[in-house]
Amino acid sequence: MIYRISHPTKILKGSITLSSSKSESNRALIIQALCKDKFEISNLSTAEDTVVLQKILSSKNKALFNEVTYDVGGAGTTMRFLTAYLATQSGSYVLTGSQRMMKRPIGILVEALRTLGADIEYLDKEGYPPLQIIGKSLTGGEVEMDGSVSSQFISALLLIAPELKNGLVIKFKGEVTSRPYVDMTLKMMQEFRVYGIWQDGIISVSRQDYYKKSDASYEYKVEADWSSASYWYSLALLSKECDLTIKGLKRPSLQGDGMVADMFAMLGLKSEYMEDGIRLTKIGSKSEHFGFDFSDCPDLVQTMAVVVSALHISAFFNGLHTLRIKETDRITALENELTKLGVLVEVENDNSMKLTPPEHLLQPKIIYTYDDHRMAMAFVPLAMLLDYITIEQPEVVKKSYRNFWNDLKSLGFVIKEMPEEEV
């Protein structure tokens, strides 16, 4: 499938209700599965990752004698969280996924879980899914981890930490990447009366139990997704005129990607916080150079790479070391697709790149997504500057923002499905 997206007026006015955070939803589902009390989760994300995780957790196939196979598809968070969760649940499980998932390393998490007493084996290539997991009560204890690894490995361990007989101590080597995501995990655990201490490069969580608040009507409400909001920030900034309300966002937020509001303020977009969300308006100023370390917010790299290129702002991005093991190799994917616009992309190493945009963007024939939802959504805002933008495999947005295309249509975008031979 191929979509051609355009906007006849380039003016963005109106409001949308943003999709819920899949990061928060997935953590809430694991806590719900482990909690001693039953509670409801409202505003749960409809992202494919969350739908898959919820389906697996609700299946309740905890077979003691018959092995159960769970296929997570391309859901990376689900693979990592379930690896840790199933290791604590009595039964025999095979955890598998898509072809891309079989190429995403999980060895650091598996080795940490083995240190804590888990019984996990690789069914194919060492260090990669699929996995065979024999779930049982785990002893727990101390593990040492490189802080530059995926924060999802750390969060997966933290979420099961209160279930471990001797609790959990994680000692980090070096700075922790995507620290806001680890902070989110700890804060959500606190919401359910489980407390951890993070001090001097060490996180410790003692043996505890998850309990909900005493209010009989308590339910956990998931915030709107700041990562998804980034695409609307980009659309707003590149529009001819803008007065856009995004409902569901709030400050302060559990989500580290909320810093996108500050990034776009530097580029000329004002965020006005209201009771039910935010209002975006243009303030007409921008920087001549943009530099940022994305170690704490790697999911914003594609959005920012496209928008600074569209604004003809030279940029230097740092903190990119986790991008090669995402849904695709995002550094290579960005280099390929930005080059089509005429952008000079200099990848200095696996951690940084320099962008030098042309005076006038080229009209690309087609933007490839590499089966990556963020590649699709990050490039759509170019429809506000170019005659149109053509996106291959647009259905990939369901991984995090299922209603993205409908939200665009509601604000005047024209989306036409194109035969491949006409592109």
Q: What is the pLDDT of residues 17-54, one digit of tens each?
A: 998 999 999 999 999 999 999 999 999 999 999 999 99
Q: What is the pLDDT of residues 304-316, one digit of tens each?
A: 999 999 999 999 9
Q: How far is CA 118 from CA 137, 189, 196, 386, in A?
A: 8, 22, 22, 53
- Average pLDDT rounded to a whole number, residues 376-388: 97
User: Are 264 and 342 part of one and the same domain?
Assistant: yes
**Domain termination residue (choose one: 221, 243, 265):** 221
Residues with active-site annotation: 299
d(CA 89, CA 113) in angstroms, rounded, equals: 13
d(CA 210, CA 120) in angstroms, rounded, equals: 25
pLDDT averaged over every residue in the chain: 93
User: Are 190 and 310 part of one and the same domain?
Assistant: no
Using an 8 Å Cβ cutoff, are 220 and 41 in contact? yes
Tell me how many domains the chain contains: 2
User: Are 107 and 185 part of one and the same domain?
Assistant: yes
User: Are 36 and 137 part of one and the same domain?
Assistant: yes
**Domain termination residue (choose one: 184, 201, 221):** 221
User: Are 163 and 281 part of one and the same domain?
Assistant: no
User: Are 83 and 205 part of one and the same domain?
Assistant: yes
User: Are 212 and 230 part of one and the same domain?
Assistant: no
Please report the pLDDT score of residue 360 as a whole number: 92
Q: State whether residue 361 is helix, strand or coil.
A: coil
Q: What is the dihedral sign for C-alpha 23, 378, 371, 247? A: positive
Please report the pLDDT score of residue 62 as a whole number: 52
Q: With bands split at pLDDT 50, 70 and 90, how would you rate the model's confidence at 416?
A: very high
- Residue 287, CB-side half-sphere exposure with 13 Å CA sphere: 15
User: Are 313 and 257 part of one and the same domain?
Assistant: yes
Q: With bands split at pLDDT 50, 70 and 90, how would you rate the model's confidence at 213?
A: confident
Please report the pLDDT score of residue 139 as a whole number: 96
What is the CATH number for 348? Answer: 3.65.10.10
User: Are 195 and 253 part of one and the same domain?
Assistant: no
Using an 8 Å Cβ cutoff, are 87 and 160 in contact? yes
Please report the pLDDT score of residue 350 as a whole number: 83
Of 383, 387, 385, 406, which is closest to residue 395 (Cα–Cα)? 406
User: Are 165 and 80 part of one and the same domain?
Assistant: yes
User: Are 231 and 216 part of one and the same domain?
Assistant: no
Percent of the chain with pLDDT over 90: 82
User: Are 41 and 168 part of one and the same domain?
Assistant: yes
Expressed as residue numbers, the domain containing 334 is 2-19+224-422
**Domain termination residue (choose one: 161, 187, 221):** 221
Backbone region of residue 163 per phi and psi (left: phi > 0; alpha: psi in -120 to 50; beta: other values)? alpha
What DSSP character marks residue 1? -
Q: Is the pLDDT confidence value at 64 over 60?
A: no
Please report the pLDDT score of residue 60 as a whole number: 65
